[in-house]
Chains A and B, each alone.
Chain A
Amino acid sequence: MKPYLLVDFGSTYTKLTAVDLDDEYIIGTAKAPTTVDTNVLEGYDRAFKHLMDDHPGITEIAGVSACSSAAGGLKMAAIGLVEELTVEAAKRACLGAGAIVDAVYTHHMTKREARELKEKNIDIILLAGGTDGGNQECIVHNAKRLRDIEVNVPIIVAGNKDAYDEIEEIFEDTNLEYYFVANVMPKLKKLNVNEAKNQIRKIFIDQIIDAKGISKAAEKIGDIIMPTPEAVLKAAELLSKGYEEDEGYGELIVIDIGGATTDVHTIGEGFPKRTEVILKGLEEPFAKRTVEGDLGMRYSARALLSLVSNYEFKKYFEEDDTCNHDIEKSLNRRSQEIDFIPKTKDEEEFDKAIAKICCDVSVSRHVGHVEVVHTPLGDMYYQTGKDLTGIQYVIGTGGVLINHKDAKRILNQVNKKSNKALELRPTNPSILIDRSYILAAMGLLSQKYPKLALKLMKQYLM
């Protein structure tokens, strides 16, 4: 056997997926704890050994592709002018490239904000602001702020192109590392994030990997081609659209509940389904990703305390759940012991409730909303964001979901709710689980073998 190997250097585990290109099946998967602190290759070698032990028939590797979210993933700052416009466009570029947006600045940055930004552990800054031909003064101001504090991470300039000459003069002859790409919002409400996304990926491959000590792996197994969340987004997009004559699944949602964050990916236009609804706001990306940093099973568990009241929390327990949960204590424990694994029924049920909240709240934030506006001519409806009521498939991935016997029940939280009537949530989608944890791997595989990646996803997601 000469399998193609997909590697995901995750924050906790390094995961391997071996695919047989000729017979078109997944030979096996293996994992071992990620070892960024010492040498990432240790974890990789260990996982590789597991794979070989389980599948002695593997004689040679046909090729390798890898992605990574190790060492905190890719952290970015998004800077723009108006919150709903260029700031939002900048955020979407970062998220679409698989980053976590850890800092957001609107309008003119103050010195204090600039200092705060420098202190944050950010990998790349995306500087936007103004449509082409529009406002220059703000992005120029912010460029000066970044120069003055001498930021030591790459800056991608993706704003009003008219300001580029002046910004270049500001950055020239400094030690700043900067790149100019196309404006993320060249015209009002027009989203244009591809160049920015490509530049982010390029910097990620060239440097971030290096800075996070993962480059040793790159030397041995080849380039780490993208951040893991981007691989998941690519997989979702392929599964939705299909490839050549092989049809896809249509509009879909992927929910990835992790220890620290919950990612939601949707593929679909999300246009209003009813004619009396008027679409507002910035254009939505066809493949959209949002990340909730305060929704997670472990590290972020404590944040739930301030997000949902005890009363609300209890509603997420199953009706037949007779355990006597101490909500505060259980949440605190999980955020302290991030490798906590539930052993008792109590603990399992509690984890399920957390997962349900992560799912419910992350979907609330991701989906479009309808707002009723009372006008002199009666009520009118404005939609911001995507209408996802017609979504056909919801796919769950990430530690809790793939291992939980009640995963489908957890994912039922995506559905329309009577107390959230104005949210454009799915109505009755089919639910699939990424039981073999292959989505990121399939996103990687799709870069070279899209047809096979699609076939395997259809087979292995259930």
Chain B
Amino acid sequence: MKTVVIGVIGADVHAVGNKIIDYVLSNNGYDVVNIGVLSTQEDFINAAIETDAEAILVSSLYGHGEMDCKFMKEKCEEAGIGHVKLYVGGNIVVGKQDFAEVERRFMEMGFDRVYGPGQKIEDALEDLREDIGN
């Protein structure tokens, strides 16, 4: 079974989506390590190292995702898990912004997949299967 780490980054307490993601991924054959809300970049990274996860799915709902996700890729590389896929989704920026532009900024920050508002975890399942298998 492939392991994925999920959690909500930064000072964000939106817990409902996180539970749904846990449920959906677990039911689709993934070993889900859920570090919950209010997680730091280090929490995600340490969890991925110990559990040998192949993808990290970062949620950010409260609008400050960009700030919270800065340098996360660099830290992964530093910690020896640069190969682990990095996804981000939720309401990752403040208000309504041009998604293509937002996606580009997060890609530049080193994220492999970026999901905008309204995109569900089911959308990401396909990508996950493609990226790390099942």
Chain A residues close to B by CB (< 8 Å): 81-82, 84-86, 107, 129-131, 133-137, 185, 188, 278, 280, 373, 375-377, 380
Contacts and interface: CB of A to CB of B under 8 A. Distances in A.
Contact of B52 (A86, A135, A185): A135
Given A82-B46, A85-B46, A376-B67, A131 B51 contact: yes
Nearest to A85: B50
B25 interface: no
Nearest to A80: B50
Nearest to A162: B52
Contacts of B35: 188
Contact of B11 (A84, A107, A133, A380): A380
Contact of A136 (B10, B33, B52, B62): B52
A147 to B, nearest CB: 22
B62 A133 contact: no
B49 interface: yes
A-side interface mostly: loop
Interface residues of B, number: 21
9 contacts: A81-B50, A82-B49, A85-B46, A107-B80, A133-B3, A134-B52, A280-B43, A376-B10, A380-B38
Contact of B1 (A82, A133, A185, A375): A133
Contacts of B10: 375-376
Nearest to B49: A82
A130 B33 CA distance: 13
Given A376-B10, A380-B11, 6 more contacts: A82-B49, A131-B50, A135-B52, A185-B50, A188-B35, A188-B51
A376 B11 contact: yes
A78 to B, nearest CB: 15
Contacts of A133: 1, 3, 31, 51-52
Contact of B50 (A188, A375, A376): A188
A185 B50 CA distance: 9
B11 A134 contact: no
Contacts of A280: 43
Contacts of A135: 49-52
Nearest to A380: B11
Interface in B48-102: 49-53, 62-64, 67, 80
Among A134, A136, A185, max chain B CB count under 10 A is at A134
A82 B50 contact: yes
| The 9 A-B residue pairs with the shortest CB-CB distance in the complex, in nearest-first order | A375-B11, A134-B51, A135-B52, A376-B64, A134-B52, A82-B46, A131-B51, A85-B50, A131-B50
Nearest to B47: A188
A81 B1 CA distance: 21
A278 B38 contact: yes
Contacts of B62: 376-377
Contacts of A134: 3, 50-53
Nearest to A279: B38
